[in-house]
Every structure is written in structure tokens, then in C-alpha cells.
Amino acid sequence: MSSVGIIANPESGRDIRRLVAHGSIFDNYEKANIVRRVLLGLEAVGVEQVWLMPDAFGIGQRALDGLRLRLRVSLLPMPTTFTAADSHLATCLMAERGVGCIITLGGDGTNRIVAKARSAVPLLPISTGTNNVFPRMIEGTVAGLAAGLVARGLAPEAVDSVPCLEIRRERGPEDMALIDAAVYDEPFVAARALWDMHKLKAVVLARVEPGSIGLSSIGAHLLAHDQEEKGLYIRTGSGGRQVLAPVAPGLVQSVPVSEYRILCPGETVVMGQSRPAVLALDGEREIELRAGERVWVRLSAAGPRVVDVRKAITAAAGAGVFLRSD
């Protein structure tokens, strides 16, 4: 039986960047509308079962209101804490049930939690925020079509592994990031989001992609050419050059870069500073670091497997999947 999982985060698109920058609030009712369109796309290409992660807002249930479907849609039976842990657990349970694709609605942070489950199931991330690099703004119907094609084995060539950052430190468990890992000159996690580039001390990027926003944009504006297949280490400070970059929606700042170097998969960077700081992962403060504590960040080519929507649709069209006889 072909099946797909859907993980929709009701908290995405609502962080402090709506106050300190100009990010828009992404309404949960619109997320339910996106899920509704995803379901219709999945049904159109013959998916038989969909598993929904339960959430505090009831995004999945609202998406089903008044909707008549042939495919079976079920809430995943799981204990809920209504925290990020739910997304991790849901990913593991969906993988155990043999889903052929997991669709996520959220930002870089949501997808990082899902990716930390280290599942081999392909992901199709839909952005529901304004400061994201990993997920894309994709119309829900088209996302459903592409995810369904992959789940049914009709577009295997549309799935590729993307790079990630493997994080190891002197104390605490290992971690990962999908886009960036940064040392930020604040002693506490506090509001989590980053917006003051004067406090940015060093950052490692998993890839450098023009047209991105957030810390990734610093690398994209620093280099004169695309480096999507390589990473980048940047150290801030005087003695170098100023890089103008959109570090948050509507917030363009000048970032002083003292040194940088391109990273190839397998390379490791050691970061830390002499006084307490925090380690931010994918644009959010996550880990408090003691003075002098070191962090090892390794660029890995073996990140999550992600669906390329255009490739999936192109492959299916070439195989005549969308054609019907009179």
C-alpha cells in the first residue's frame, strides 16, 4: 500500500523575527488549507494512505473538514507533548509504517528536528515562514502530486541527498544542522532567533546558495559564484571586508568578514570562544557554550534525502503518468 506522512508544525512562522524584522505571520488556517490541497494532490496520483501528525491546533482535522476523499487519512497514534519532540517521534513512527515520503510544513527548525531522526524516507519540505533555506515555497497541490509520485516509486530519480552539518562538542550529545551552525556572542538561548550580526562570531554553512536569506545569504553575497555542492566557513571581525546581506525578512545588515574558506564534504571546523556564548543551529540559538568550550562542525554529504518537485513532475510526465485514454 502506498502511503505518505504529513508533519505540520503549528508554531512555525511565528517567532520573534516578526518583531525585530519584518517577517509575516503564517496563519495555521492557511496551513490547514495547504494540507487540504496536498491531500487532493496525493489522491490524484493514487496514494492509498496518509498519516497525519497530531498537533495542538488540529491542522490535519481542519484540513479534512468537508473534504471527501477516496484515500484513507489517519491521525498517527502517538503520545503528544506539543513540542518539537512530537515531530521527531512522528518521523520515526511514519518510517516504521513504511511511508514512501514525508511532507513537512514548517521552517528550517522543523525540518532539522525531522532530519535528526536519520530516516531514509524522502522528505518534501514546504516552507511556512519567511526566513527559510531548506524548505521551499511550493503550492500544496503540486507538492502532493510530487510526493505521491515518489511514494509510489514513479519518480525515484527525483530524490537526492543534500549536505548537512554534523555537530560534536566536548559535552552533551551530538547534533546536526541543515543549513548553518554559528557561534553567537550571547550567554543564553533566550529568544532563540538571530538578528544582531555584531554578535555573530563565526558560522559554518552547509551550502552557499544565491537568493537565500538568513546567515546563508552572507556566504552567497561573499562569493562570486554558486557553491551549492560545497560549504563555507566564515569568521567575522575587522581587517577584512563588509558583506551586505539580508539576514532576516526586511533586515539587511553589513557583516564584517575577517576570513573565510570553502569547505569540501568531510572537512571539519573547530569553533568556540574565550567567554560564554551560544551555538545557533539553522538560525536559532540552541546550545549554551561555556567559556573556552570547543565545537567540531563537519560538513557531510550524507544529509536527508529530499524530493525535487520539478524532477518528479518531469519524470512522471515523460513516462506518461498524467495521460489518460479517451
Tell me the average pLDDT across 129-140: 84
Tell me the average pLDDT across 163-167: 97
The CA distance from 160 to 202, in Å, is 29
| 249, three cell numbers | 525578512
Domain boundaries, the chain: 3-162+304-318, 164-300
Query: Which pLDDT score is estimated for 19?
Result: 46
Confirm if 256 and 238 have CB atoms less than 8 A apart.
Answer: yes
Question: Which one-letter amino acid corresponds to residue 199?
Answer: K
Task: Write down the pTM of the prediction.
Answer: 0.92
Q: Is the pLDDT of residue 144 over 70?
A: yes
pLDDT per residue as tens digits for the range 260-319: 999 999 999 999 899 999 999 998 999 999 999 999 999 999 999 999 999 999 999 999
Q: 3-162+304-318 and 164-300: same fold?
A: no
What string of DSSP letters covers 12-38?
TT-STHHHHS-PPP--HHHHHHHHHHH
- Residue 166's pLDDT band (cuts 50, 70, 90): very high
Tell me the average pLDDT across 23-46: 90
CATH code for the structural domain at 3-162+304-318: 3.40.1280
Q: Is the pLDDT of residue 53 over 90?
A: yes
Coil, strand or helix: which one is 219?
Answer: helix
Query: Which pLDDT score is estimated for 13?
Result: 56
Query: Which pLDDT score is estimated for 18?
Result: 47
pLDDT per residue as tens digits for the range 79-119: 999 999 999 999 999 999 999 999 999 999 999 999 999 99
Tell me the average pLDDT across 116-141: 90
Tell me the average pLDDT across 186-201: 84
User: What value does the mean pLDDT of the chain take?
Assistant: 91
Q: Is the pLDDT of residue 24 over 70?
A: no
User: Where is average pLDDT lowest: 3-17, 41-55, 74-88, 106-120?
Assistant: 3-17
CATH code for the structural domain at 164-300: 2.60.200
Confirm if 159 and 248 have CB atoms less than 8 A apart.
Answer: no
Query: Which pLDDT score is estimated for 112?
Result: 95
State whether the Cα torsion 180-181-187-190 is positive or negative: positive
Confirm if 107 and 128 have CB atoms less than 8 A apart.
Answer: yes
| 131, three cell numbers | 526566513
Q: Percent of the chain, pLDDT > 70?
A: 93
- Residue 14's pLDDT band (cuts 50, 70, 90): low
* Strand duo 277-281 + 284-289: pairing: antiparallel
Query: Which pLDDT score is estimated for 7?
Result: 98
pLDDT per residue as tens digits for the range 195-226: 788 999 999 999 888 888 889 999 999 986 66
Q: When comparing pLDDT for 167 and 192, which is higher? A: 167
Tell me the average pLDDT across 246-264: 92
